Amino acid sequence: MAKTRILAGGIAQESHSFNPVPTDRSRFSIRTGRDAVETARGTNSVLGGIVDAAEEAGAEVVVPTIFRAQSGGPVKDAVFAEMRDQMCDAARRGDFDAVVLPLHGGMLTPSLEDPEGALMTALRAIVGPDLPMTAGFDLHAHVTPEILARCDLLAGYHTNPHGDQGPTGRRAVRAALDMLQGRLRPALAAVHLPMLTLGNDRTDEEPLRSLHALARAAVEAGAAYDVSIFNAQQFLDVRGLGQWVLAYGNGAAPDALALELAQALWDERHALIGTYPPLDESLDRAARGTERPLILGDQGDRVAGGSPGDGTYVLRALLARDDLPPSAVPIADAAAVQACLRAGLGATVTLTVGGRYSTASPPVTVTGEIVSCGASAEVTYAGPADAGTRIGLGGYAVLRVGRVHVVLTEHPYSYLDPGYFRAMGVDPAAMGIVITRSGYHFTLNYAAIGDCVTVDTPGMTSYRVQDLPFTVARPFFPLDDLDHRPRLHVRGSGVP
């Protein structure tokens, strides 16, 4: 009997409509063929979950290509086209039993509001309507009617901060295999809500904790096959921006469950708007002394949310005080990195860094010693989020300015894992203050070494969405006062 063959791969990146820096090919980690499979195997990533679950079931996974990049500006059209063409060329071989896609779901290109839907449409045109096609998406995906019409089952993360990337891939594989073996006829009940969550959207805290518990209980009781609650990321100026509840049944859609979850989500819309403490509060705490490092999330300049990562607001605050312990703060600045590489390890240099794209704070001129530098480095995530994932960094330099370690990189990074700092010669456990370019996703992977706090800072990823020039996406709550009643979405018909 021939082994079941699964086509996997694609592209994963989260885009920010208002980031002026396009994401080009150099920002992507690109793996192909056996290298992609072997690198993913055993990792807590969506592709890792796909590979592990498939192989445990005796199936073979083929990955023509997988493009993966940090969040940032829209992806160049040529990059998406290169990936799409490689996936479609593989699909034309016609020897696959199912398609399972490890994507993000929140990507843009200059010409496409829904690249993931475009990829699925292209693949469907090749494999036909009957071949099982499933996907694993980030909880912050922008779900569209086109995606729902092409994809038999869309599995989203259940955790925020994200810790279940691997299990999400496993759910997508399970659904595809169940369809192949006649155990599943997926029937979808989907509800769209024109609203954003803004800061109080952790799934281990209320109100989302109770909603996910209700969804989980329904699946465990057999009232639904799979349920995902998508809290779309907040910086996409696209049509149909908002939240989605997807409840899949076997043969019959769990309409009542989808409507109950959606109504509860809409009813809690005001509670889902959070606030964060000011930066000075955490700096004062660090000055008094702490048993463990303070790991601070710079939510106004979150590369994890698509910012350029060159904001200087926190750097200025650290340099302005002489009562703070050693600190590490990242700044994306390619010119500064090249200047450091030319000067060499141990040199003292004066540089003007940051503030080119993130305009909430101007560039900063610093003088310091280059204590680490290199043309490249490799990061291995310690986890638990994305544990085992390996990515390459471009050029970097660490400039010690007094007690402040300015971590300079050619490209912006989120620093979701301590491995970023370690790869560049900085031990975050030895610092008193560590700055990450993340809102709260960093908290899972830094919990073992420090106390994690998200601080209120200005910038293009601040939750003050009223400061962003939304046009296409509106109306949506909280920018617009809407009288909305959740209604079922029928596959392929658009949102009623």
Mark whether 268 and 285 lie in a shared domain: no
Residue type, 97: D
Q: What pLDDT, on the 0 to 100 scale, is given for residue 493?
A: 32
Helix axes 208-220, 255-267, angle to 10 degrees: 170
- CA-wise closest residue to 280 among 407, 438, 457, 441: 457
Query: What is the spatial distance between Cα 450 and Cα 435, in angstroms, rounded to a whole number?
Result: 11
**Residue 13, domain member (yes or no):** yes
**Residues in CB range of 277: below 8 A, 6 or more apart:** 453, 455, 456
Query: What is the spatial distance between Cα 276 and Cα 261, in angstroms, rounded to a whole number?
Result: 27
Mark whether 215 and 285 lie in a shared domain: no
**Residue 202, domain member (yes or no):** yes
Instruction: Convert the pLDDT of each residue in 409-442 to its tens digit.
Output: 999 999 999 999 999 999 999 999 999 999 888 9
Q: What pLDDT, on the 0 to 100 scale, is given for residue 495?
A: 33
Query: What is the spatial distance between Cα 42 and Cα 146, in angstroms, rounded to a whole number?
Result: 32
Mark whether 340 and 220 lie in a shared domain: no
**Residue 491, domain member (yes or no):** no
In the chain, which stretches have pLDDT less than 50? 492-496
Mark whether 320 and 255 lie in a shared domain: no
Q: What pLDDT, on the 0 to 100 scale, is given for residue 490?
A: 62
Q: Strand runs (DSSP E) across 288-439, as ranges?
A: 294-298, 327-332, 348-353, 364-374, 377-380, 390-393, 396-401, 404-409, 433-436
- Rounded to an integer, what is the distance from CA 25 to the centroid of its chain? 18
CATH number, domain with residue 162: 3.40.50.2300
Q: How many domains does the chain have?
A: 2
Q: What pLDDT, on the 0 to 100 scale, is given for residue 440?
A: 86
Q: What pLDDT, on the 0 to 100 scale, is given for residue 1?
A: 60
Among 239, 272, 305, residue at a domain's last position: 272
Domain that residue 94 falls in: 5-272
Mark whether 191 and 299 lie in a shared domain: no
